[in-house]
Amino acid sequence: MESLRNVYGEIAWSRRPWPQVQVRPGADELSCGLSKEDRLIVWTQYAPSDWPHPDKLDVEGLRFYERVVGLQSAFCEENWEEVADFYGTYGPLGDPAVLKQKPLGERVGWCRQALAWFASLVRLVGLLQTEDDAGLWLWFESCLSRSPGGSVLLDLVRDGVPRGALLDQTRMRIELVPQAGRTWPGARERQRLYDLIWDAVIDAVQGRLADTHLEPFRRVLSRPSRPVVQWGFAAGGALDAAFLQWFFEIFAPFQRPTCERPGCDRPLPVGRRKYCCPQCANAHRKQRQRERERVR
Ligand SMILES: [Zn+2]
């Protein structure tokens, strides 16, 4: 399949810092369903907004998306000072229900779940891309151990709100689905584990992208003959901006290495370093041997 054009990651994010935020108990109908989560992050004033590309917010080797992943622990530890610091610089994470809240604010429960989802996604993909078998098994088993017995789906999101209701059903899970009628992979089924988890993260990413729209975010129409319209993938808040940065730079460009025998190009099965199979390794070795003999 050939693409018509390379899409580079223009991200349309209207960053609007909330310089003074407070974490308050909120008794509104949207957040009170969650025990211990019935709190809101409210703000008293806006700072001026801008349209930064997330890359411009990388600081000293720390990527912006990593900063957002790190915010998860601030929420877990209830370190509101750090949370306020984040909001003061980057603005809201992007709770879709902001405008329905009274007072206006983001639900702490939503932020916790959304960050758990994103942090899980980023870390899982890191394990997959580096083929960290031990880390992957540990992750899988810890999710298995806390899932109710006999369930067909396994949610790979960790450090979320284990018993709370999901505040954003479609975008808060990374679901592992076993092939029809099959059990979960056992200790010696490495390839099956990788296949299942890759499928799960790809589906989760696809779900998020389904809500991402391409929009005109900058228009300069002062010269009628040369209108300038800049298009970007719309980020509803700091979390979407981080997700899109990670998607364009880490997730989408990743290629599984392919077989080194010229003309083969099959992706390398997990665990093989150069060739897809012993036949290709052999064939390439003989081919190189023949070439050397011809030179002599
Ligand atoms: Zn091959």
Q: How far is the CA of 200 from the centre of ligand 1 (A)?
A: 27
Model pTM above 0.75: yes
Lowest mean pLDDT among 60-69, 235-244, 270-279: 270-279
CA distance 17 to 32: 26
Mean pLDDT computed over 22-42: 61
Q: Is the pLDDT of residue 257 over 90?
A: no
Burial (Cβ within 10 Å: 0-12, 13-18, ≥19) of residue 115:
buried
Q: How far is the CA of 201 from the centre of ligand 1 (A)?
A: 27
Q: Which residue has the higher pLDDT, 2 or 239?
A: 239
Mean pLDDT computed over 269-284: 86
Residue spans per domain, the chain = 11-254, 260-296
Residues 6+ apart with CB under 8 A from 201: 121, 124, 125, 128, 174
Q: How far is the CA of 259 from the centre of ligand 1 (A)?
A: 5
| Sign, Cα dihedral of 43, 49, 55, 61 | negative
- Taking only the tens place, the pLDDT of each residue in 157-168 is 987 665 566 777
* Pairing state between β 228-235 and 214-220: antiparallel
CA distance 31 to 241: 24
Which pLDDT band holds residue 35 (cuts at 50, 70, 90)?
Answer: very low
Q: How far is the CA of 192 from the centre of ligand 1 (A)?
A: 20
Q: How far is the CA of 69 from the centre of ligand 1 (A)?
A: 38
Query: Pick from 173, 94, 187, 91: which is nearest to 136 by CA?
Result: 187
In the three-class reduction of DSSP (H, G, I as helix; E, B as strand; rest coil), residue 176 is classed as strand
- R_g over Cα of the chain: 23
Q: Is the pLDDT of residue 126 over 90?
A: yes
Q: Which residue has the higher pLDDT, 255 or 138?
A: 138
* Per-residue pLDDT at 32: 43
CA distance 49 to 14: 6
Which pLDDT band holds residue 2 (cuts at 50, 70, 90)?
Answer: low
Q: Centre a 10 Å sphere on the Cβ of residue 102 and count the other Cβ atoms it contains.
A: 13
Give residue for tokens 């909120």.
26
**CA neighbours within 13 Å on the CB side: how many for 252?**
14
Query: Pick from 202, 111, 197, 198: which is nearest to 154 by CA?
Result: 197
